[in-house]
Chains A and B, each alone.
Chain A
Amino acid sequence: MAKYLLKRLLQSLVVLVVVSAVIFFTVRLSPSDPIASITKGKTVTAQVREDLLRRFNLDKSPIQQYYLWIGGMLKGDFGESYQYRQPVSLLVSQRVKTTVQLAALSTVLAILIAVPLGIVLAVKANSFTDKALSIISLVFVASPTFLIGVIFMLVFALRLKWFPSMGTGSFRHLVLPSCAMAINMVALTSRITRQSMIEELSSDYITAAYAKGVGPLRIIFIHALRNAVIPVITITSLQIGGMLVGAVLVETVFAMGGLGDLLISSIKSSDYPVVQGVTMMMIVVYCALSVVVDTLYAIIDPRIRLQ
């Protein structure tokens, strides 16, 4: 188990190093002049230009810059924003709370709804409820998060006025965005749970468990569910990435001023230190969550744990 986790950690560390290089050097390929982004297009004197280049380490060679960037990040210094002239870490720390709340709330909500729903649909496979819900979930899987967000806003915030339409601050502000994000996940996760439960329920060891005289409830929850949950975890881990991007979209819809807003506005204004910093942070989170998921695998599945 320890060996497995260590290997997994090392792997993600290597990937993270390569990814950091990709992020850093891709951005360097930009044909646009970073000074133009810093001065918001104003022409400046050669002296000011020189100062700015030195201030943002742009006078050094790319390799040196990368080295400084990595070294800074390890110390919690993600560089300085071009447009805000503030440390990236400060900008992030002001906004990260909203994004984390949104992502956590929607994920918990989605799993709490999706897994039980999937089990019920698997047990009642091919019933009317199953067929009706499968069509509905098909539509939701195909609906972009931002569309659901926009429709929620139109119906529940603008027309019915049950919830505020934008901004942050209270729990009520979080309800619509979280639900909009969760719905997509519920649709996908419940489909996977259903499919996986149906497969497990028709496997030989379930027949054998019936032959043992085990009752249906115990079969579903003790025998089948534990096996069925493995592919569900896989899908959930893949969705973590989608969730991070989903948060960006939903934050935009509801003008929540989170990390996503920061990222998008920085992309538009070529604020590279922020783009690099936020992207890197998201990928670190993504990697860390993947490691957590793989640990979960090992806990559930002895075939991974004991090898």
Chain B
Amino acid sequence: MLKAIIGQKTSKKNSYGKLLTPSFAISLVIFIAIVVLSAFAPVFATHDPNKNELQSSLAGPSKSHWLGCDVNGRDLYSRVLYGGRTALMGALGVVGLSIVLGIPLGLVCGYVGGLADTLIMRLCDVILAFPTLLLAFLFVATFGRGITISVVALGIVYVPMLTRLTRSLAIVEKNKTYVSAAISLGYSPLRIMYRHILPNCISTILVQLTLDLGYAILDLSSLSFLGLGVIEPTADWGAMLGQGRLYLLVNPYLSTVPGAVIVLSVVSLNIFSDCLRQYLDHTQVQLPSFEEYASRLEKQQKPQESGA
């Protein structure tokens, strides 16, 4: 039996470098769900997230308050939805800032090189000398708390990483023949950078950006947790976790639920980026063992046999 299966001609459709794997689909669905619930928070929320009902302070889950209430009697479920807005918009802002600054700087460093490259890279070294959040701490200490400050500070921290990545990719592309061809055709450096080099680097950059989005959610929530991010009464996952931990024994949901959504969104982004990388990098393809392959063929064959 086995011999017969192995002997089967295998079609070329049986390629494992496909994007739509189960883990990819699941992570995508989870992340989209989080985005939709946050974006349309006013539709899905049951209460005003900032309305204090002191009589239901620290109340447990009930019919009217699905996840209970925080110390000010605000509905936890609704605040988690609105908190998602803060967290996701903030993370998007961080990554957006790093794109706007990091990619052009990286392209210039990699393609133009020379003095500009040296200067920009040294500047990156200085920023990278600050352990992740420390520079953000400094910014908050200087300019005061608030989501905008946090986003700008983190954005600046994220720029050098993206600059370095883009630079290294651009250097690789720069030495390829098609770039020489473009130069000999008289295209301007700007055109070559954006129309020729960037499209060839974009897939790797994209993988990094999805990862960065997750890290940005984590870092922003850390700032808010420490009380350096959002200002009351704005709902934010990190800040909610930080307040909730004071009432761990009374209503553990206050900190565990925001924590769970943070983990869920970051995990789904990580898986998403992992799948993306595997799809783009065909050398990473996982081969099945002989036994797995045989059983897979067997499964494929069965419907045909019964149909015949």
Contacts and interface: CB of A to CB of B under 8 A. Distances in A.
Query: Do A and B touch each other in the complex, judged by CB within 8 A?
Result: yes
Interface of A: 15-16, 18-19, 22-23, 26-27, 29-32, 126, 138-139, 141-147, 150-151, 153-154, 158, 240-242, 244-245, 248-249, 252-253, 263-264, 266-268, 270, 272, 275, 279, 282-283, 286-287
Nearest to B227: A268
B23 to A, nearest CB: 9
Contacts of B270: 138, 141-142
A267 B248 contact: no
Interface string B107-133: 000000000000000000110011111
Interface residues of B, number: 41
B138 A19 contact: no
A241 B131 contact: yes
A109 to B, nearest CB: 20
A152 to B, nearest CB: 11
B255 A19 contact: no
B132 A264 contact: no
Given A143-B263, A240-B131, A245-B133, A264 B228 contact: yes
B201 interface: no
B139 interface: yes
Nearest to B126: A18
A154 B286 CA distance: 40
B131 A267 contact: no
B89 interface: no
Contact of B256 (A22, A151, A253, A287): A151
B195 to A, nearest CB: 34
Q: Which 4 A-B pairs have the closest CB atoms?
A: A241-B131, A142-B266, A147-B259, A267-B141
B68 interface: no
Main secondary structure on A side of the interface with B? helix
A244 B255 CA distance: 23
A126 B262 contact: no
Nearest to B249: A158
Contact of A26 (B142, B214, B263): B142
A150 B248 contact: yes
Nearest to B225: A146
B140 interface: yes
B144 interface: yes
B143 interface: yes
B252 interface: yes
B146 to A, nearest CB: 13
Interface string B226-268: 1110000000001001100100110010011001001100110
Contacts of B125: 15
10 contacts: A15-B129, A16-B129, A138-B267, A142-B218, A143-B259, A144-B263, A154-B255, A249-B226, A286-B129, A286-B131
Contacts of B138: 23, 26-27, 275, 279
Contacts of B255: 147, 150, 154
B142 A144 contact: no
